[in-house]
Amino acid sequence: MSMKLYSVNAILCVSLVLAACNSKKDKTAEHTEHSEHADSAVVSEGTDDCSSQGESMGIHGDLTAYTKSAQGLFHVKIDWSSPLTSSSATNVATLNFVDEHAHELPVKLVSFKLFMPAMGHGTTKADQMVMTQDAIQPNIWTVDKVNFSMGGAAGEWVVDVEGSRCGQTDKARVIIPVEVQ
């Protein structure tokens, strides 16, 4: 009985692997049909991007550290280098995009804007920032060379994060919960 179960599992595994191989083959074939590499890259990115939405099986994660975007397109969490210092473009932010189940969600980071609501100003040297998408985890972005034009107590600085996915764009205002020295 156990042998039989084992072989059924083995067959299932093999067919799953075959299915994965076949879909990969199809994709490769599609790509070679396009003469321009840029075209196929865009197509493949878009497909992966949108297909992962709706895969809500499995255990739902914890959203407490995340900020929901205005229209619910994504939830985002920002981890900061420590300590945060003003007047030097040396701060680093790591962004993590997830869906409403706290599952990884590939989102394109469109803009990352520091703002101080109480004083109504942004920051200087914003053009020096470098936004990089993780090559392996497309829901993770690093923003390097972040400059705060002035210090502030915990919660005084916020980031307006703009992200796009499947042709839709949404915004989230994320509070920086630590002091900027």
- Residues in contact with Cu ion by CB under 5 A are 116, 119, 150
Whichever of 66 and 148 has its CB closer to Cu ion, that residue is 148
Q: Which residues have a Cβ under 8 Å from the Cβ of 44 and sit 6 or more positions away?
A: 27, 31
Shortest Å distance, C-beta 149 to Cu ion: 7
Least distance (Å) from Cu ion to the CB of residue 120?
8
Question: 107 vs 180, which CB is nearer to Cu ion?
Answer: 180
Contact between 53 and 166 under an 8 Å Cβ cutoff? The reply is yes
Tokens 């981890």 correspond to 79
Nearer Cβ to Cu ion, position 140 or 180? 180
Nearest to Cu ion of 104, 179 (CB atom):
179
State the nearest-atom distance from the C-beta of 117 to Cu ion, in Å: 9
Q: Cα–Cα distances in Å, from 83 out to 79, 80, 131, 159? A: 12, 8, 20, 17
Strands (E), 13-139: 67-68, 75-80, 91-98, 108-115, 130-133
What separation in angstroms does the CA of 79 have from each of 30, 60, 145, 159? 39, 21, 14, 12
Least distance from Cu ion to the Cβ atom of residue 153, Å: 11
Which single residue brings its beta carbon nearest to Cu ion?
Answer: 119
